Structure 1
Amino acid sequence: MIDVDESVTLHSSWKGMLLSAVGAMVVFGLGLGGTVSSGGAGLPVVILGIGVMFLLTVLFDYPVASRFTPEFVERRALLRRHKIPWEAVDQLTRARPGLVGLRNLKPGGLTVKVGRRRYLLVDQSESIAEFDQLGNVLAARYAELGVAEMIAPHVETEPTWTYRRGCWQPDP
């Protein structure tokens, strides 16, 4: 059993989750509407298939939160949990920031590289306190995962739990 003090939970942004879900539903809706109105013509069916793939990706793969422990990282999507042991991880890196992040020079969220695949862990940068907690949790694997080479978040960055329920706030 993992001690709660030996884990850090980082959350994805509401904006990222909502925009992903809305975008997938729009493509699905356009495909469904086109398929129904055209009686099953080729292009609307292809758009419907793409919309279904987008919806499945949002539901099963887009991370809502990720929990970091000394043994593994657990990605939590809406309909799935995915544990990745640190032994399988080649590198812990930052995702590319969005357009606003590029303008403000904010680092992106966290990703892990496992073989040739990259898994998004959170879509926003964590606060300095969360970054330090993450460093403490991953102390044994700090150099192995390349945490020392990552860009540290800005001092003004808000914690990822800011717009969540009170249970995610750290103890005073």
Structure 2
Amino acid sequence: MVDVDQSVTLHSSWKGVLLSAVGATVVFGVGLGGTISSGGAGLPVVILGLGVILLLTVLFDYPIASRFTPEFVERRAVLRRHKIPWEGVDQLTRSRPGLVGLRNLKPGGLAAKVGRRRYLLVDQCEAIAEFDQLGDVLAARYVELGVDEMIPPHAETEPTWTYRRRCWQPDP
């Protein structure tokens, strides 16, 4: 069992979660409407298939939050939990920032590189305090995972739990 004090939870932004869900639903809806109205013509069926793939990806793979422990990182999506042991992770990296992040030179979220795949862990940059907690949790693997080479967050970066329930806020 993992000690809760030895873990840190980082959350993805509501904007990223909602926009990905809305985008996938729109593509699915356009494909479904086109397939029904055309009686199963080729292009609407392809769009419907793409919409199904996007919806499944959002529901099973887009992380809402990730919990970091000394043994593993657990990605939590809407319909799935995915544990990745640190032994399998080659490197912990930053994802690309969004357009606003590029303008403000704000670092992106976190991604785990496992072999040739990259798993998105959170889509927004964490605050300095969360970055320090992550360093404490990963103390034994700090250099091995490349955390020491990552761009640290800016001092004015908001914590990832800002718009979450009170249970995610740290004790004062």
Shorter-chain TM-score tier: over 0.9
Look up the match of 2:92: 92
What is the aligned-residue RMSD (CA, Å)? 0.3
Which deviations, in whole Å up to 9, do the C-alpha atoms of 1:18-70 show, x marking residues without a partner? 00000000000000000000000000000000000000000000000000000
Q: CA deviation at 1:71?
A: 0.1
Look up the match of 1:83: 83
Q: CA deviation at 1:97?
A: 0.3
Look up the match of 1:51: 51
Amino acid at match of 1:79: L
Which deviations, in whole Å up to 9, do the C-alpha atoms of 1:78-129 show, x marking residues without a partner? 0000000000000000000011100000000000000000000000000000
Alpha-carbon distance in 2 for matches of 1:70, 1:26: 39
Look up the match of 1:20: 20
Which deviations, in whole Å up to 9, do the C-alpha atoms of 1:121-150 show, x marking residues without a partner? 000000000000000000000010000000
Look up the match of 2:155: 155
Look up the match of 1:32: 32
Amino acid at match of 2:160: T
List structure 1 segments (4+ residues) > 4 angstroms apart after TM superposition. none
For structure 2, list consecutive stretches of 5 or more residues without a partner in the other structure. none
Alpha-carbon distance in 2 for matches of 1:5, 1:131: 15
Which residues of 2 match residues 128-139 of structure 1 at below 5 A?
Answer: 128-139=128-139
Alpha-carbon distance in 1 for matches of 2:158, 2:98: 17
Alpha-carbon distance in 1 for matches of 2:17, 2:127: 19
Q: How many residues align?
A: 172
For structure 1, list consecutive stretches of 5 or more residues without a partner in the other structure. none
Alpha-carbon distance in 2 for matches of 1:164, 1:82: 21
Q: TM-score w.r.t. structure 2 length?
A: 1.00
Amino acid at match of 1:47: I
Amino acid at match of 1:64: I
Q: Among all aligned residue pairs of Structure 1 and Structure 2, give the percentage whose two residues are the same amino acid.
A: 87
Amino acid at match of 2:77: A
Q: TM-score w.r.t. structure 1 length?
A: 1.00
